[in-house]
Amino acid sequence: QIAIGIKKEVDFAGWYTNVLIKADMLDYYNVSGCYILRPWSYSIWEVIQDWFNARIREMGVQNAYFPMFVSAKVLEREKDHIEGFSPEVAWVTRAGQSELEEPIAVRPTSETVMYPYYAKWIKSHRDLPLKLNQWNNVVRWEFKNPQPFLRTREFLWQEGHTAHLTKAEADTEVREILELYRQVYEDLLAVPVIQGIKSEKEKFAGGLYTTTVEGFVPTTGRGIQAGTSHCLGQNFSRPEMFNIFVEDPNDPTGQGKVYVWQNSWGLSTRTIGVMVMIHGDNQGLVLPPRVASIQVVIVPCGITAKLSDEARKAVNDRCEELASSLKKVGIKAKADLREGYTPGFKFNDWEQKGVPLRLEIGPADIAKQQTLSVRRDTGVKAALPLANITTSVPELLETIQGDMFKRAQDTYYSRLREVTRWEDVVPTLDDKCVVVMPWCEEEACEDDIKERSARSSEPTDERAPSAGAKSLCIPFDQSRWPAIEPGKTKCAACGKDAKRWTMFGRSY
């Protein structure tokens, strides 16, 4: 009896956790907001790590590891940097039965752990650029309801922290990393994202500016911040903060000092949650081939009781041979020869786990020297000759990867609604779309938009106010929308001169 699944469009939150459990991606844990990452999801994180490590190594970034504990004195180095976040900080206050002299914080991010050592290690401009990254876990005691991968009290991420002699160099690296984040999503996870800069209200307050890759979840019509690359400017290197400076190589007197220009950038296991939400369907998980730990599952069919033992052996051997010839060309293939399970049971099992391609082989297929392929993303079936299977299957997997991305990108772009009149804002949000409007970029206006859009669209049911819209990003690529005419095009919210088209929406 295969459990009746929860429908994605009916109960999205229930569908999401059900898919994760049924696909063996995670398990629940008795500390709220924490989950166990089982191999089926952890293998996706490893693909992302391997890919990202190769590329940052090419950029001269080195991996390192810093302690997870931060003293209160160090964490609260600068009151205003931390003040908004302090409710999220987890503290160790005792070991065994003895209270600690000073409480020790568990890192929520590592700026304050790392930068005192940047100050110590960076003595000359020849020590620049310093580029370190760590793969670690961080703890943030969020109080909003937790969601696996999307909002958890402990999560895995990489956090890159770099120091440069000039702003220009820092600016360049911010975008190089953001481009890598785009590729992780679009090329590995088949998830479309839009690159842009955050508004003053939404940026990391401790930094100079924040760039972001913004995802979109069509089922809920909500945007999701999928990765961030900040330029910190000299905010963390200035004397009152970590005092990280070098002699100015361009100052003939040799007296000049340059405070270093810093960046920090992070991508977390939220990547996995976004991929599940975008591609999953009512049969369960749908994995993009490039991150699937099993890309092709081969299932013996037509094995009935009346089939002779040698015929049954012939089918099983053919499945095994097919798996090994696909593995030889680098395809992650598996023959499911489990006894005592029907083909139908196996089909459902691997569909729930999101394996991108199934190949069925029965006596009839052997006779015809073919296999029946079934795509997980579309369900489309096609007979494939065994003769050229080691080229047709890799090609089919690439087609699946491309089609999954294209479908998701078309959906995302179809939900970007150009809005130039305020009265169209809330209806657009209620339509599960992103508002893209000419915006003045003033913080007061953004506060106003959030408040005015929080009122529900139907004046009658004041009870159920919809969540307000916040700015998601100001896309770097403005060419998708009509040019803003300076002094002429007005902000759709306040009527002041608009500066750039900006995406507003409800978000995670």
Query: CB-wise, 89 or 296, nearer to ligand 86U?
Result: 89
CB of 142 closer than 8 Å to CB of 88? yes
Structure tokens at 323: 């798996």
Cα–Cα distance between 194 and 415 in angstroms, integer?
A: 13
CB of 502 closer than 8 Å to CB of 463? no
Task: Check binding of 109 to ligand 86U (CB under 6 A).
Answer: yes
Three-state DSSP at 296 gives strand
CB of 5 to ligand 86U, least distance (A): 35
Task: Check binding of 22 to ligand 86U (CB under 6 A).
Answer: no
CA separation, residue 267 to residues 150, 157, 275, 308 (Å): 12, 6, 14, 54
Binding string, 191-230, against ligand 86U, x = CB under 6 A? -------------x-----------------------x-x
Q: What is the DSSP string of 127-154?
A: G-SEEEEEEEEEE----SPPBTTTB-SE
CB contact set of 479 (below 8 Å; sequence gap of 6+): none
By CB under 6 A, the residues from 48 to 107 that bind ligand 86U are 82, 85, 88-89
The C-alpha angle with vertex 308 and arms to 303 and 311, in degrees rounded to 5, equals: 65
CA neighbours within 13 Å on the CB side: how many for 60?
A: 10
- Alpha carbon 264 to its chain centroid, in Å, reads 17
Three-state DSSP at 267 gives strand
CB of 290 to ligand 86U, least distance (A): 25
Task: Check binding of 177 to ligand 86U (CB under 6 A).
Answer: no
CB of 74 to ligand 86U, least distance (A): 11
CB of 155 to ligand 86U, least distance (A): 11
Task: Check binding of 140 to ligand 86U (CB under 6 A).
Answer: yes
| 480-487 long-range Cβ contacts below 8 angstroms, 24+ apart | 480/416, 481/418, 481/436, 484/438
CB of 88 to ligand 86U, least distance (A): 4
Task: Check binding of 108 to ligand 86U (CB under 6 A).
Answer: yes
CB of 227 to ligand 86U, least distance (A): 9
Query: CB-wise, 23 or 232, nearer to ligand 86U?
Result: 232
| Residue listed under structure tokens 């019509």 | 221
CB of 72 closer than 8 Å to CB of 102? yes
Binding string, 235-274, against ligand 86U, x = CB under 6 A? -----------------------------xxx--------
Binding string, 398-427, against ligand 86U, x = CB under 6 A? ------------------------------
CB of 199 to ligand 86U, least distance (A): 16
Residue sitting closest to ligand 86U (CB): 266
Task: Kindly list the residues in this chain that would bind ligand 86U in the complex (CB under 6 A).
Answer: 82, 85, 88-89, 108-109, 140, 159, 204, 228, 230, 264-266
